[in-house]
Each structure stands twice: as C-alpha cells, then as structure tokens.
Amino acid sequence: MGPKPILVLKKFDDISIFLNQNSERNLTKISKHWAGEAILNNKHVEWKKSRKLINPAFSSQMIEKYFDVFNKRSFALVDKLKLYADTGKEVDIHKYLLNSNIEGLIENLTGAPIRTSEKEVDDFGVALKDVLHGVARGITSPWLYSDTIYSVYLKLTGNMKLIKELNYLPAKIVRENLKDANEKYRSETADSSKCLIDLMVKAQQKDSTFTETRLEHEFLQLMSAGTDASALNASFTLLMLAIHQDVQQKVYEEITQLVGEHDAFTSDHLSNHLKYLEQCIRETLRMYDPVAVTIRESQKEHVLKDNTIIPAGMYILIMIHLANNDSAMYENPHKWNPENFSEQAIAGRPKRSQLSFSVGPRSCPASNYAILSIKLQIAQIIRHYHVSTCIKELKPDDLKMEIGIRSKLGYPIRLTLRKKTRT
C-alpha cells in the first residue's frame, strides 16, 4: 500500500549495482520534515553542492587535527564513568557515548571550544532517539510515503514539537559560530584546511543558495547521522567485548602493547595499528548495523545482475542488515566473530562488501572519522576498565529494528578499574 510501487533489495550484488549506478536521493518526503533538505536527502544538483561543502571537513588532513578533541573527550568520558567503577552496578553505556560524540563533533566542526550546556546535549540526544523512531515508522509504513498524509500524521501525533526540539541545538550552534567565523573570514582566506564552519562562510560568499537555514539543516543532518550511529556501534561493541571475555583480553593486550597508561592516541595508532579492535568494530557493524534499512527513489531505469529491470519512479527499500548477514558472504552469519574481518577473510569477499557506510556516490563522507572515533572511545575505555555484563547472549528477540538495530535490553556494562589505573 502506497503511492508508488516498492521493490525490496536484500542481496549485496543487487544493492551494490543500484547504489553505484547513480546518486539517487533518500526519500525526501520523509526526512525533510524532520531535518530539512541537505546532504542526506537533497536532489542531485544541490546534493553535489552539499557534498563539496562537507567533504573537506572529513579529509585525512582535517581528521589529523581532530585528535586533540578525540583524546580530550575520551579522557573526559573515562572520568565520568568512574562514578560506576568497582560498584558492582551496571550502567547503560549508550547515553555516555552519545553525549561524548555530540560534544566532540561540535568542537571539531566549529573549531572552537564547546559553548553548549550539558542539558542541551542531553535534550538533543533524547530528541534524536525519538526522531529516529519516527523516521523509521515513516520508512516502514508505505501509506505514509505521501507528503500530504505524512504531514498530517506528524501533526496528529504531536511530533511537530519534537522536530523543534531536535532543530534547536544545531541551529543555535550554526548561528553563533557563523557570526564569529564571518568576522574571521574578513581577515583571513578560508580554504579546505579550515573547519566546517569556515567552509560554510566561504560557501555563503560564493553561492546564495547556502542560506543560514540550509546550513543549519546541513549541520543538523551531520549531527543526527553521525553521533547516534557511532554511539550505537560503540555500545554494541563494548557489550560484545563484555560477553566475549577472551576477545576483550586480546583487545586489551593489543592496546597496552601500543600505548602507555596515560598516553594520548595518535592517528598512526588508530589508522595503522589496533587492527584486531577494528575487526571487532566492523563485525559489530555487520551484525548490529546502525543503519539497517534505507529507502531510495529510483530516478532512472536500472538493470540488476539477473536482468531484473527497476523502472524509474519506483521506491527501493534497501535491507542493508540482511545483505550484511548473507550466508553467501559470511560463514555462520548470525554468530559474532571478529575473524570475519581478518585480512584473509576480507580478501575472499568482493571489494566493499560491507554496506554499513553505503557504497556509491552517496556513501558516508565521514566513514573514516566514524571508525577512528569509535576505535579511540573503545580503546580508552578498555585500557582503563575491565567490562562485564549480566547478558550472556544477545538473541534475536532481544533486538529491534528501527533505522538501525537496537537492543531492547539496553547496553548494560559493569566497570572494574584495571589494577594499574587505580588511584
């Protein structure tokens, strides 16, 4: 039921062909109500402008500059968690990881110390969780694909207030920092080595379509897409390490052989080392994908591997989670096994066969930022704490699927200070 035909894709080959052939947008009629029109859902011409604006902010050169903030935020996270250390009580780790991600992303993309209160960060995180639930409802309910029907649905369900709450913090950040950056821009030449706010000022100088409202939406979509997905992956990975104690010990030894107790992590540590930790992260992305389903609108005819023709104008429901758990790609796909991402295992699969960051023109521009920030968060926690949990095994009934896979049980972690970090 819906205004257009819907085709479900769940095999890697079909999804890869469809996503690589062009840059179809995500279904605008759903997401634009929540977060405006920006990089995640713009039409092709405007999307290319958004991508050109945002790409330099996640270049290797810029990510190198973000490590001071990565380290500062991860040490602050470890300090906050001391409240629960050695108490025998479990803490749901997700909120702490999410708030740390939000604060870190704000600092890195504005290039300035954070001026946001802890309550504002908390409120954004709560609103984001509720909004993602609403977006998932829209994606999985074809009768809501009509723009008119979805608008009425949002009003009747009281979601307009929630949308305002979600937009408040990103709009405030952009307004405050654009003013400061404009003053700096008058005395400096902005270039691709600058933070995102500087790049936004440069874009405004050259293109009138980059209004303040549009830039607020760009910032909102980056905050929404990046912070929750990374927090979900880090939460699930820590939960898996708490369940699989032998794997946790191996990760801990890998970390302590590389850095001392109080050393900061560098980009070399995270890019060229801690390979086993990265295997754990990528295996968790595969099994508990933070973006498990998405929808695209085909703008032209496509031909799949088996010669199936996808006509223009069709809605395509892309089941990333099913593709990432395909038994043709992974032996025993429902078992968490970091060896699925050993060099040998990766070499035996098609290139870019993991779809967690999508593929093709609309793949995630911040995938490297995400992996490195997750590695640092987990490495910092495991370096200082032994983690355990009351959960013996995550079963299918313990999970729910919205935009991504979430745990119905939460992410309960028991923290014990490592002996050498006791004070």
The number of beta carbons lying within 10 Å of the beta carbon of residue 80 is 13
Quick check: 243 and 392 in contact, CB under 8 A?
yes
What does the block give as tokens for 201? 């000022």
Determine if residue 364 is labeled as part of a ligand binding site. yes
What does the block give as tokens for 328? 């043709």
What does the block give as tokens for 190? 């902005």
The values of phi and psi at residue 147, to 5°, are: -60, -45
Of 50, 5, 343, which is closest to residue 219 (Cα–Cα)? 50
Helix %, strand %, coil % of the chain (to 5): 60, 10, 30
pLDDT profile of the chain (423 residues), mean per 10:
74 83 59 80 84 92 92 95 96 96 94 89 92 81 80 84 91 87 57 76 89 92 90 97 98 92 85 94 95 82 84 85 89 94 91 76 86 95 97 94 92 92 45
What does the block give as tokens for 232? 């979900």
Cβ neighbours of residue 142 closer than 8 Å, sequence gap 6 or more: 1, 2, 6, 315
Q: Note the residue count of the chain.
A: 423
Q: Which CATH superfamily is domain 6-421 in?
A: Cytochrome P450 (1.10.630.10)
pLDDT on residue 192 = 44
Of 224, 292, 300, 217, which is closest to residue 42 (Cα–Cα)? 217
Please state the pTM of the whole predicted model.
0.91
pLDDT on residue 25 = 56
Task: Give the CA count within 13 Å in the CB-facing half-sphere of 290.
Answer: 26
